[in-house]
Amino acid sequence: MKGIGMNTKLGDEPPEVQSELLKMAAMYSIPIFWGTKETSQVDNNGTAFILDTGERRFVVTAAHVYESYLKKKSKGLIDDCQLSNLPFELEEKRISTSSSSSMDIATFDITEQEIQSLKRSVLQGNQRTWPPKRPRINEAIVIAGFPGNERQQVSTHGYSFGLYCFNTPVSSISNRHFGCVLEREYWVDSFQLGLPEEGYDLGGISGAPALALDLSSSGIVSWRLAGVVYNSFVELGEIFLVHHAEFIKSDGTVIQST
């Protein structure tokens, strides 16, 4: 696990607090990946999470993660998909994707039995109604995902997925998404495992949940889903783009971009 702590609206927390915030985000992120049974090779991976809106529980990832899977499968290059340790047939499980190329979110059905077998936390958040409110400029955001270049084969049929997590303030907001700029001058190595090198390839964290942190008057930190990570740019600096959570309806359908 690689962790980046940054000074945020919540203040200058000590390293042990920063690491706990990052671990909190890591509770919800799940690797989703595919490959071939014959060679036991993972072809690609993304990040997903299980969301509970109060009406329904379902899996969320980026639409381009799903589309990448479909493209490879249509060419006969892959025949198996998994959500962590769970075999997961994306076509059969699909609930909704946006017909608009500007809305990069996909949702999938999951049973309670499957959720139990994953042994992963289900994201609910502190909001009382759905959807959760949008983040604000400089509000603290925590993200954890699985970059493909951290993926390692550890046995004939086993892989390890390295986790990349960080917290950062919101830098910009539009009607469709918000952006976070990771400014290296503020980076803190919260887990004492070393910081990523310049130009680190973040491909694979698409689909990760972005959690907005809330600080109560009594000093208690809680969180809500702010959005779904769908893109990152290393050419323009280390920038993340995240679709607002409000584009996911409580029944699991994805709202078209406005």
Phi and psi (nearest 5°) for 144? -140, 135
Is residue 253 one of the residues assigned to a domain?
no
Output the pLDDT for position 31.
Answer: 94
| Mean pLDDT to the nearest integer, 141-167 | 76
Comparing 150 with 209, the larger pLDDT belongs to 209
Identify whether 254 is part of a domain.
no
The mean predicted confidence, pLDDT, of the chain is: 82
Residue range(s) defining the domain that contains residue 242: 2-247
Structure tokens at 18: 């920063």
Residue 74 has pLDDT above 70, yes or no: yes
Residue whose token pair is 């994805």: 254
Q: Between residues 238 and 233, which one has the greater pLDDT?
A: 238
**Lowest-pLDDT range of 133-142, 171-180, 192-201:** 192-201
* pLDDT at 126 exceeding the cut of 60: yes
Chain segment 43-69, per-residue pLDDT in tens? 788 999 999 999 999 999 999 999 999
pLDDT range class, residue 9, cuts 50, 70, 90: very low
pLDDT surpassing 90 at residue 26: no
Q: In this structure, what DSSP letter does residue 48 have?
A: E
- CA 231 to CA 33: how far, in whole Å? 18
Q: Residue 127 pLDDT > 90, yes or no?
A: no
The predicted pLDDT at position 193 comes to: 60
**166 within domain boundaries:** yes
Confidence at residue 114, expressed as pLDDT on a 0 to 100 scale: 97
Distance from the first to the final alpha carbon of the chain = 36
pLDDT value, residue 189: 58
How many structural domains comprise the chain? 1
Residue 10 lies in a domain: yes
Query: Percentage of the chain with pLDDT > 70?
Result: 76
- For 120-158, the DSSP string reads -PPB--S-SSSSPPPP-TT-EEEEEE--GGGEEEEETTE
Contact present, 23 and 187 (Cβ < 8 Å): no
Say if residue 209 is preceded by a cis peptide, omega within 30 of 0.
no
74-78 mean pLDDT: 85
Distance, in Å, from the CA atom of 176 to the CA atom of 102, rounded to the nearest integer, reads 8
Q: Residue 130 and residue 147: Cα distance in Å, rounded?
A: 30
pLDDT of 10 higher than 50: no
Asked whether residue 232 carries a pLDDT value surpassing 50, the answer given is yes
Strand partners of residue 47 = 31
252 located within any domain: no
Each residue of 197-223: pLDDT tens digit? 666 667 788 999 999 987 777 767 788
Mean pLDDT over residues 79-86, rounded?
A: 90
- Cβ pair 105, 63 in contact under 8 A: yes
Give the closest residue to 108 by CA, choosing from 43, 35, 59, 151. 59
CA 116 from chain centre, in angstroms, equals 20
Angle, vertex CA 43, rays to CA 42 and CA 49, nearest 5: 75
Segment 126-147 mean pLDDT = 90
Q: Give the model's pLDDT for residue 57.
A: 97
